[in-house]
A and B are shown apart, each in its own frame.
Chain A
Amino acid sequence: DTAVSQTPKYLVTQMGNDKSIKCEQNLGHDTMYWYKQDSKKFLKIMFSYNNKELIINETVPNRFSPKSPDKAHLNLHINSLELGDSAVYFCASSPSGGGIGGYTFGSGTRLTVV
């Protein structure tokens, strides 16, 4: 029973393509997040949704568009992919307010743009 699941786990694509990453959580959490982890392991927040409403939108190119059809799902669509978008993207969830235990993370999607 995976708590936070992301698909696909690996994604290799060419520059200029459009791709999507899907995330689902079965923890009953109200808040979901997208984080980007670069090659130096630095995790940086991109977006956060609370009950389908966008509440955090960090300085991210508008080629990245999150969508939350319901509070258990948060998808990330990326247009016109660039080499610099190569990274591991993590989805996470938490109760509203963040929770005592912080976030529960998915296992990540490794995106490679060639």
Chain B
Amino acid sequence: EDQVTQSPEALRLQEGESSSLNCSYTVSGLRGLFWYRQDPGKGPEFLFTLYSAGEEKEKERLKATLTKKESFLHITAPKPEDSATYLCAVRFTGGGNKLTFGTGTQLKVEL
């Protein structure tokens, strides 16, 4: 069965303390891996799309990477405003346009 698993479930960092979030997937025929950020009371907001192993995308303090089995979202020198839930989703062959989401990582960055 196609699955997306994110770890850790929750992560608490000090401001400036870099770390990585993991998204592992078991789908056949990956057609895109997506990272979203979700703030409380809001809908998910698109961050990155990755299509093939080895691909990397960057935006400010965030960098997403992709291998054949997992993706990492690296957060460099985070700030309190980076606190949010980070969601990973995949689109796969046979799934149409459907995005299958993981359960997210709740990130809290403290001063």
Contacts and interface: CB of A to CB of B under 8 A. Distances in A.
**A and B: interacting chains:** yes
Contact of A106 (B34, B43, B49, B103): B43
B57 to A, nearest CB: 11
B42 A43 contact: no
A103 interface: yes
Range class of the B interface residue count: 20 to 34
B7 to A, nearest CB: 14
Given A41-B85, A100-B49, A108 B101 contact: no
B43 A105 contact: yes
Contacts of A94: 97
Interface in A1-57: 4, 31, 40-45, 48, 50, 55-56
Interface string B43-57: 111100100000000
Interface residues of A, number: 27
B78 interface: no
B94 interface: no
B89 interface: yes
Contacts of B99: 45, 98, 102-103
Interface of B: 31-32, 34, 36, 38, 41-46, 49, 85, 87, 89, 91, 96-101, 103-104, 106
